[in-house]
Amino acid sequence: MTQEQWTAVDRYITDLFVPPDPALDATLQTSAAAGLPPHNVSPNQGKLLLLLARVQGARTILEIGTLGGYSTIWLARSLPADGRLITLEANPKHAEVARANIAHAGLSDVVELRLGRALDTLPQLVAEGRDPFDLIFIDADKPSNPDYFAWALKLSRRGTLIVADNVVRNGAVVDAKSGDPSVQGVRRFNELLAESPHVSATAIQTVGSKGYDGFAIAIVTTEQ
C-alpha cells in the first residue's frame, strides 16, 4: 500500500459521494492561494462530519480550529435553520480567509468566528453561561488537545458528541518517548479519553489523501 494508492482511493470515494461544490472548491482554492497550510479535512472527511452532525441532530456546534473554514462550512451546512456554529481561530490571517470563505458559502449568519487563542476564548464561552453544545470538533494545535478536552467537557451535556482529528500522527502515537510535542499532546488526549468517567470513546486510524492518521469520537455520558 502506498500514498499514491491511498490518494487514488480517496479520489474514487470523493467522486462517488461528494459532488463538486462551488463554495467548498473555492474555499480550498482561496486557502491555498493565501498560503494557508493544507491541513483541512479531506472532502470525504468533511462529508463524514456533516453526517455525524445530522445523526446527532445538532443545533449548536463548537469548532476549535478554523483554518480556512473548510470543515466549518461542512459542519454549518448540517444545521437546521435556527442552528448556530461558533468556530475559534488563533491566527488573524487564517481568520480573515475563513471569514471570506464562510461569507462566500452564504453562512455568515450561521457561523460566528472568534479570533484569539482557544485557551483564551474557551473560558470566555464558559463565563458567558452558554447552553451546552451538541457537537464539538477539535482540530487545532495538538499540544493543547488535553486542555481542549477539559474545556469541551465544561461546554457539553450528556449526549454531546466530541470529535477530534489527527489522533494517530502517522503512527507516532505508539512512541511513548517521542520528543514531538504534538505526539505527546495527542497521546495525553487519548489517555484522558480512555480514563474519563464522563465519556464513552474510541479512536479509528485512517489512510487517505491526507496520509496515515485517525480520529477520535466520544459521547458524553454524564451531566457536567
As a whole-number percent, the residues of the chain with pLDDT over 70 amount to: 100
pLDDT at 112: 98
Q: What domain count does the chain have?
A: 1
pLDDT at 47: 97
Residues spanned by the domain of 112: 3-220
pLDDT at 221: 98
Residue-wise pLDDT for 154-203, tens only, equals 999 999 999 999 999 999 999 999 999 999 999 999 999 999 999 999 99
Residue-wise pLDDT for 100-130, tens only, equals 999 999 999 999 999 999 999 999 999 999 9
| CATH value at residue 148 | 3.40.50.150
Burial profile 11-28: b = 16 or more Cβ within 10 angstroms, e = fewer: eebbeeebeeeebbeebb
pLDDT at 86: 98
Residue-wise pLDDT for 37-74, tens only, equals 999 999 999 999 999 999 999 999 999 999 999 999 99
Task: Inform me whether the pLDDT recorded for 1 exceeds 80.
Answer: no
Q: Report the chain's mean pLDDT, rounded to a whole number.
A: 97
CA dist 33 and 47 (Å) reads 23
What residue type is assigned to position 36 of the chain?
L
Q: How confident is the model at residue 224 (pLDDT cuts 50, 70, 90)?
A: confident
Question: Mean pLDDT over residues 206-215, rounded?
Answer: 95
CA dist 81 and 205 (Å) reads 34
Rg (CA), the chain: 17
